């Protein structure tokens, strides 16, 4: 592990939610390094659209940096101009505002030559502004395939093209993204996502299991993750209508359109349990009979590697997924499905025989977040 370094992490998610790869990596590094975790900039329009979250964000910004466990500091930036993803000029202004704030903070806490670790392409303009000893771009999504609006895709593609040229180290968690990026440079480091194995592999006494799950009879078919445009609503509707005795459990933030929410509400056997904190998820997954990944397989999803699959594995649960290319290497323990009926039949098969629990846990143990950070640390140390 790298030690005694100062790291400024420009993240794409708040520290508390949604809790994913960024927080996992920084939590581990914070045990031996000082981390300034910078939450994403929100525009004044976002704040006006969601006043409750906006007020909370403004309160955190006014409070300044807060200290978490270890040597971890959290900073919430001030509200900025809207349309930063549609205009190079607006993005430049917003990043200048962020750079001024960060220089003031790093001077106060004493980060003389930090590692600048960027998850968002917008922040390429911070390169060279932080007196950094090293710059890292960690790409977790293929946004070029996600964005339908040409102007936005053009701006962000321009920023990423330049970031790929200028950053000292490039990491990505998807094979397909790594292949695409090698058109710009050869030294792309593909690091598969990991799992908090110890938390998810432990046994759960009855007293620790969530009561709302105990009140839902088996078979419980479960999904954990953000409910958004990646979810194949037609597939969930098919399962719910063809298998009314199955209880389909959905856990996570609900970002679906109002039309899709209306569709799912028609089925009494679909149970939406809302967002759950990360430390509670193992108990929910433990009570699922089969876990599913009901994603579309086109466009943006072609390069998606769902973090939750390794958490399913760590608990020992069988997994049925649509035919995502990033999961091909796990075909021994995941049933990849071609079409709705195949997906349903694969769930049926696992309900009769849940497969090799030990093999699933063995795979998860080999992909712990600690092992991921060790690989990342070795690459950083060699570059330094």
Higher pLDDT, 141 or 322: 322
Strands of the chain (E only): list them: 6-10, 34-38, 66-67, 72-75, 115-118, 134-139, 169-172, 188-190, 220-224, 247-251, 270-274, 290-293, 319-322, 334-337
CATH of region 197-366, choose from 3.40.50.2000, 3.40.50.300, 3.30.565.10, 3.30.70.100:
3.40.50.2000
Mean pLDDT of 15-31: 91
Q: What is the band of 373 on the pLDDT scale with cuts at 50, 70, 90?
A: very high
Higher pLDDT, 10 or 152: 10
Higher pLDDT, 320 or 301: 320
The yes-or-no verdict on residue 146 having pLDDT over 80 is no
Count of alpha carbons within 13 angstroms of residue 174, beta-carbon side: 20
CATH number of 6-194+368-383: 3.40.50.2000
Q: Tokens 């750079």 correspond to what residue?
A: 99
What pLDDT sits at residue 132? 97
- What's the chain's average pLDDT? 93
Q: Tokens 């990944």 correspond to what residue?
A: 293
- pTM of the predicted structure, to 2 decimals: 0.91
What pLDDT sits at residue 147? 66
For residue range 29-49, what is the model confidence (pLDDT) as tens digits? 999 999 999 999 999 998 888
For residue range 264-292, what is the model confidence (pLDDT) as tens digits? 999 999 999 999 988 899 999 999 999 99
Would you call the peptide bond into 219 cis, given omega within 30 degrees of 0 as the criterion? yes
The residues of the chain that CATH labels 3.40.50.2000 are 6-194+368-383, 197-366
């Amino acid at each position: 592990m790298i030690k005694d370094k100062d790291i400024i992490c420009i993240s794409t998610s708040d520290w508390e939610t949604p809790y994913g790869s960024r927080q996992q990596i920084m939590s581990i590094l914070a045990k031996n390094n000082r981390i300034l975790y910078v939450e994403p900039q929100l525009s004044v329009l976002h704040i006006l659209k969601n006043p409750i979250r906006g007020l909370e964000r403004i309160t955190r910004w006014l409070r300044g940096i807060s200290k978490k466990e270890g040597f971890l500091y959290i900073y919430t930036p001030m509200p900025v101009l809207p349309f930063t993803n549609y205009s190079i000029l607006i993005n430049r202004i917003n990043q200048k505002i962020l750079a001024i704030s960060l220089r003031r903070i790093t001077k106060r806490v004493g980060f003389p030559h930090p590692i600048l670790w960027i998850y968002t392409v917008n922040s390429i303009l911070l390169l060279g502004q932080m007196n950094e000893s090293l710059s890292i771009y960690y790409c977790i999504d293929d946004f070029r395939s996600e964005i339908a609006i040409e102007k936005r895709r053009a701006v962000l593609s321009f920023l990423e093209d330049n970031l790929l040229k200028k950053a000292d180290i490039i990491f990505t968690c998807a094979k397909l993204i790594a292949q695409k990026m090698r058109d710009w440079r050869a030294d792309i480091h593909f690091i598969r996502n990991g799992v908090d194995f110890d938390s998810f592999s432990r046994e759960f006494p009855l007293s620790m299991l969530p009561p709302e799950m105990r009140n839902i009879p088996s078979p419980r078919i479960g999904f954990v993750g953000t409910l958004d445009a990646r979810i194949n609503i037609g597939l969930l509707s098919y399962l719910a209508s063809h298998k009314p005795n199955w209880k389909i459990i959905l856990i996570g933030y609900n970002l679906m359109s109002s039309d899709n929410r209306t569709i799912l509400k028609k089925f009494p056997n679909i149970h939406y349990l809302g967002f759950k904190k990360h430390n509670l998820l193992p108990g929910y997954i433990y009570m699922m009979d089969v876990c599913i990944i009901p994603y579309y397989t086109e466009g943006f999803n072609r390069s998606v590697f769902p973090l939750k699959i390794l958490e399913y594995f760590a608990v020992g649960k069988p997994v049925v997924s649509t035919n995502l290319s990033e999961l091909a290497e796990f075909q021994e323990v995941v049933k990849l499905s071609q079409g709705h009926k195949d997906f349903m039949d694969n769930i049926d098969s696992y309900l009769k025989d849940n497969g090799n629990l030990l093999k699933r846990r063995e795979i998860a143990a080999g992909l712990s977040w600690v092992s991921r950070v060790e690989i990342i640390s070795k690459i950083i140390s060699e570059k330094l």
